[in-house]
């Protein structure tokens, strides 16, 4: 099997990083052309978005011969294949969440993971029919890509660019 690493899609990470840079630029502009409450709100948005992006960029799912490793913000959870008891699915339109039940608790990932269909296929092969819901296999016949969150991220970029433009030229 080798080791397979799955991360959040770059198509989501790129606009998120651009949003952080633009928020920083807006914060700098507001320090010269803004009020105190505006700087406080922008600083809070900047800090929150920065922590969110660090979490998103560090999130990984590693599949290996020995088991599954889930890396999150300053946390690593390791599971042997025997510790994973169930793989289920929840579909909400184009949003798809996969639920892993383990002896250590519940863990989930979404279809925002790069090449999520391959990840689920590998999990299905490794766990076997008794641990994987039939709905998961049905989903693998026609996997759904989640583009709405990526589109919304680019909309946020456009909105922040518009705010910067108006801040520079009209305030």
Q: Cβ distance 9 to 153 under 8 Å?
A: no
* This prediction's pTM: 0.85
For 29, the domain range is: 4-170
The pLDDT, as a whole number, for residue 72 is 87
Contacts of 158-166 with CB under 8 Å at 24 or more apart are: 160/19, 160/22, 160/23, 160/26, 161/22, 163/26, 164/22, 164/25, 164/26, 164/29
Strand order in the sheet with 4-7: 4-7, 60-63, 67-72, 75-80
Region 47-69 average pLDDT: 93
State pLDDT tens for residues 123-136.
999 998 899 999 99
More confident residue, 39 or 170: 39
In angstroms, the first-to-last Cα distance of the chain is: 59
Looking at the structure of the chain, the number of domains it has is 1
CATH number at residue 139: 2.30.29.30
Rounded average pLDDT over 40-51: 95
């Amino acid at each position: 099997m080798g080791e397979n690493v799955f991360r959040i899609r770059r198509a989501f990470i790129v606009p998120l990083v651009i949003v952080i840079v633009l928020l920083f630029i807006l914060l700098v502009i507001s320090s010269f052309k803004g009020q105190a409450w505006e700087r406080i709100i922008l600083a809070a948005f900047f800090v929150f978005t920065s922590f969110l992006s660090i979490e998103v960029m560090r999130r990984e799912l590693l599949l290996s011969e020995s088991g599954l490793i889930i890396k999150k913000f300053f946390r690593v959870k390791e599971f042997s294949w025997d510790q994973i008891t169930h793989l289920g699915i929840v579909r909400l339109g184009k949003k798809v969440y996969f639920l892993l039940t383990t002896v250590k608790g519940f863990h989930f990932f979404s279809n925002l993971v790069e090449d999520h269909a391959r990840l689920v296929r590998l999990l299905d092969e490794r766990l076997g029919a008794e641990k994987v819901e039939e709905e998961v296999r049905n989903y693998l016949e026609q996997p759904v890509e989640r583009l709405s969150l990526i589109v919304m991220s680019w909309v946020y970029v456009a909105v922040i660019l518009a705010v910067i433009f108006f801040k520079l030229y009209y305030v």
